[in-house]
Amino acid sequence: MYEDKTLVCKDCGAEFVFTAGEQEFYAEKGFTNEPQRCKSCRDARKNAARGERQFYEAECAACGGAARVPFQPRQERPVYCSDCFSRVRESQ
């Protein structure tokens, strides 16, 4: 029923493909307009609207290394670096 369409991004002018699967998803959600921006321009627009994220430095509760997290650490809750967080998550 749906076929891939090549569209032109209104921000950067690059061509991008509006796939049949994406068209079906849009139809299921009731969206009537086709996308006007390519994926990278949509992502850039979302990030610009959201603003810059603030990160905090903390000490990893497992290895003692540096951890950079997007929330203000509190003393009563452990904070893990990326590697230790992955290991803790896998063990649950």
pLDDT for 23-71, tens place per residue?
999 999 999 999 999 999 999 998 887 777 889 999 999 999 999 998 9
pLDDT band at 84, cuts 50/70/90? Answer: very high
Do 11 and 45 belong together in one domain?
A: yes
Instruction: Give φ, ψ of 47 to 5 degrees.
Output: -65, -35
Do 44 and 79 belong together in one domain?
A: no
Question: What's the token pair of residue 76?
Answer: 């009563």
Do 74 and 42 belong together in one domain?
A: no
The 3-state DSSP class for residue 44 equals helix
- CA pair distance 26, 35, nearest whole angstrom: 9
Do 46 and 63 belong together in one domain?
A: no
Domain that holds residue 46: 5-50
pLDDT band at 19, cuts 50/70/90? Answer: very high
